[in-house]
Structure 1
Amino acid sequence: MTLLTGKSSSAIVAVTDIERAKRFYSDVLGLQLLDDGMEGVLVYKTGATHLVVYPSDFAGTNQANAVVWDCGADVVTIAAELAGKGVAFEHYEMDGVTYRDGVHDAGSFKMVWFKDPDGNILHLNSA
């Protein structure tokens, strides 16, 4: 039995203000909007997957990563572009990890965290 092996999945993020979220995910993050015709639900193309943004009273209550993007060697460049658009980065203390310009550097592995306007934690890494 294969269960979910080979099945596509999508990340899903709850927001309180769909128009504000649309501006953030479209304009700030530069994601391609694929569909906005499902009663306030936005579907974005992101790599080989989709990001679904939907209205909810529980938006921003998750205190863990909501979405992660594997950015490879582009992670530092992407962080700089996001900083130029006013994105504020999170800073987490971790043993053996330095922090500069929004990027946590663990040697060969780099990580960036920031929040969307509802407080959902978004994560970039160099994997």
Structure 2
Amino acid sequence: MIDNNRAISGFSVSDINKAREFYGNKLQLKVMDGVMGLLELHVGNGNPIIIYPKENHQPATFTVLNFPVENIEETVDQLSAKGITFERYEGFNHDSKGIARSDEGPSIAWFKDPSGNILSIIQPTD
């Protein structure tokens, strides 16, 4: 039977070294080298997220990782200072910083890793 406490998520990148630099240095997350050339992204207390190189990588057309933050404006400013640009998607009301705001849900800002995978920071509503 599948042990639901042991699931591991993963996604591909086109360049593992650029991914290591981006996730480890720009986002300042804990990144460890794994077996077979994989990277392990350690967030929270759960299982690591696996990042693996793929020669014919195609970025996902959906958000692969969402990071809850306490202050989205401060986090956008910090990431922008590191050269990260924020995406704007049709159908969302973005402010001047690229933060999508809605009365129906959390504030969210999307950005991409060097391989084009979509990530987001989210400030949960109270």
Is this a same-fold pair by TM over 0.5? yes
Provide the aligned length of Structure 1 versus Structure 2: 122
- 1:19 maps to amino acid: N
| Structure 1: gaps (5+ residues) | none
**1:104 is aligned to 2:94:** no
Alignment of 1:1-127 (within 5 A): 5=4, 7-33=5-31, 35-49=32-46, 50-71=48-69, 73-94=70-91, 97-107=93-103, 109-127=106-124
* TM-score, normalising length: structure 1: 0.82
4+ residue runs of structure 1 moved beyond 4 angstroms? none
* TM-score, normalising length: structure 2: 0.82
- 2:91 maps to amino acid: M
Identical counterparts, % of pairs:
27
Q: Give the match's secondary structure for 2:100.
A: strand
Partners in 2 of 1:70 and 1:38 — Cα distance? 28
TM-superposition CA deviations, 1:6-39 (whole Å, max 9, x none): x244431211111111000100010012x31412
